[in-house]
Amino acid sequence: MSTIRVWIVSTTILSVLALIAVTSITTGPSADDAIVAIRVAQREVFEAKRLYQESAPSVLKNPEATLKLASEALQEKRYEEAILAARQASRLVRKLGGVDSLGAFGKFTPHCSSLSLAS
User: Tens digit of pLDDT for each residue in 20-79?
Assistant: 888 777 766 788 889 999 999 999 988 888 887 777 777 788 899 999 999 999 999 899
List b or e across 8-47, with b for residues whose CB sees 16 or more CB atoms inside 10 angstroms.
Answer: eeeeeeeeeeeeeeeeeeeeeeeeeebbebbebbbebbeb
Whole-prediction pTM: 0.60
The tens digit of pLDDT for each residue in 99-114 reads: 433 344 444 444 444 4
